[in-house]
Amino acid sequence: MNSLIRFAPRSARTLQDELDRLFDGVLSPRTDESVATMWTPRIDLAESDEAYRLEVDVPGMSREDINISFHDQMLSVSGERKSDSKKENGEYVRVERQYGNFYRSFTLPKSVDADKIAAQYENGVLIITVPKAEESKPRRIDVK
């Protein structure tokens, strides 16, 4: 006997989420806590006339868990988010938050002022400001 199943087309975003979950499971298998895992925080990068601004989502981390370095035009952000092993009301049924080490790097143009790079951490978002060097900023040329 065949049963009829109502067809409901999935949105492209739902399909993308399922594919991401499938590949995440294959490419970064979850094992016990003794094995370090990698995860990738989401980052927004904006550019203005004055600076580049990176906003890195790292909720649940402290300032001490985050490392930022700049060398040979490469800005690197790394750290570790540790798993909270407390299980207050039984075993987890589903775990979606990612834990472990992360590493992101960005090649920046030579027109940045490396000595003035600044970072602040607020409400789970790391904000890194990379000012542009004065000679790279747009300037107005007067017509004579």
Q: What's the CA gap between 66 and 79, in Å, rounded? A: 4
DSSP 137: S
pLDDT in tens, 38-90: 889 999 999 998 999 999 999 989 999 999 999 999 999 999 998 776 666 77
Q: Which domain holds residue 60?
A: 38-83+100-136
Higher-pLDDT residue of 102 and 16 is 102
**Does residue 5 form part of some domain?**
no
Burial of 43-58, coded b for 16+ CB within 10 Å and e otherwise, reads: eeeeeeeebbebebeb
**Does residue 33 form part of some domain?**
no
**Does residue 11 form part of some domain?**
no
pLDDT in tens, 80-133: 998 776 666 777 777 788 888 999 999 998 889 999 999 999 999 999 999 998
Over its C-alpha atoms, the chain yields an Rg (Å, rounded) of 22
The reported pLDDT for the residue numbered 32 is 46
Residue in this structure with the two tokens 């199943």, named with its chain if needed: 5
Question: Into how many domains does the chain fold?
Answer: 1
**Does residue 2 form part of some domain?**
no
**Does residue 141 form part of some domain?**
no
Q: What is the CATH number of the domain that holds 47?
A: 2.60.40.790
Measured in residues, the chain has a length of: 144
**Does residue 48 form part of some domain?**
yes
**Does residue 19 form part of some domain?**
no
Residue in this structure with the two tokens 């299980």, named with its chain if needed: 87
